[in-house]
Structure 1
Amino acid sequence: MLNNCTFVGRLGKDVDMRYTPNGKAVANFSLALTRPVADKNGTRHTDFIRCQAWGKTAETMADNLYKGDTIAIQSRVQTRTYQDQSGNNRFMTEFVVEGFPQFLKVKKWENGNGNSDNYGNRNTGQNNRQQNPFDNAQPIDIEDDDLPF
């Protein structure tokens, strides 16, 4: 059996850091994943997935990552059940970050200027001017019948 997922996306909000009653660190965050193919109207939709990290990985992520940062994670999918306040069974699917370090902070592109943003180096004032290679990218018009799956 294989339960391995790799995602590259942007943090939907700052990492929510908490500790269990036993003192184990747990970080929850959402990852925004923009679909690579636009729909018939030319709109590229974004999916937000729930992610979770534990222990030292959780603490490091909470200390170094912020809303909007582009990261890559390797994870496993996990589904759990709980009862809400009304007594109804609820199901939650989330992706648990595996290993350490299994995330990578990726260079961000803003207005065509590459702002290198490494761990602990936020707001250093250094700005590496580079042209965004995707500035002139055009959407691809693909019909559902053209897809191989």
Structure 2
Amino acid sequence: MINSVTLVGRLTKDPEFRTTPSGVEVGNFTLAVNRKFTNQSGEREADFINCIVFKKQAVNVNQYLSKGKLAGVVGRIQTRSYENKEGQKVYVTEVVCDNVQFLEPKDSQNNSNSYQNGTNYQNTSNNTQNRQNVEKGQNNAKYDQHNNPFSNGNQLADDELPFD
């Protein structure tokens, strides 16, 4: 049997965090995941998927994720039921997360990492210089074609390439 789920979405609210009487940390959150298609009025709908995470991952989710943040999860679907205070049976379907990826920095305004053009630059002087060189259109000699450790030293001219 296969029971595998991979989702990317935004948190609908801050995660809920608790510790069980036996000392296990538990985190709950809901991901809004956009559907691939639009409805009849041209609007994109979303599914709201309940997720649960345990132990260290739950602590990390509580610390680093908040409402509106983009997250990726890998896990499995689980169903369970319980009886509520009114005596009615309630069925719950949720994703038990084995892995949660934080796809945005916690504080994108004041984070030491800056995300530009999809690239993560650590805030160090060496990488700052490399970023400035890239922004100016200058090549870093370290990554120059002539110093490519995977090259056999033969460089092809544009007119020697096998495609137009």
TM-score, structure 1 normalization: 0.71
Q: Of Structure 1 and Structure 2, which has the larger fraction of its residues in helix?
A: 2
DSSP-derived class of the 1:87 partner: coil
Q: Which runs of 5+ in 2 are unaligned?
A: 119-164
User: Which residue pairs with 1:103 in the alignment?
Assistant: 100
Q: Alpha-carbon deviation of 1:129?
A: 5.4
Which residue is 2:110 aligned to? 124
Q: Give identity over the alignment, percent.
A: 33
Aligned length: 117
Deviations 1:59-109 (A, max 9, x none): 0111111111111110111100100111111111111101xxx222224xx
Shift of 1:125: 6.0
Unaligned 5+ segments in structure 1 are 108-116, 132-149
Aligned ranges for residues 1-149 of structure 1 at < 5 Å? Answer: 1-98=1-98, 102-107=99-104, 117=105, 122-124=108-110, 128=115, 130=117
What secondary structure is seen at the aligned counterpart in 2 of 1:60?
helix
Distance in 1, matches of 2:94 and 2:111, equals 36
TM-score (ref. length: structure 2): 0.65
Q: Cα distance, 1:38 vs. partner?
A: 0.4
**Bigger radius of gyration:** 2
- RMSD after superposition: 2.0
Q: Give the ranges of 4+ consecutive aligned residues of structure 1 lying more than 2 Å apart after TM superposition.
A: 125-131
| Cα 1:19/1:122, change in 2 over 3 Å | farther
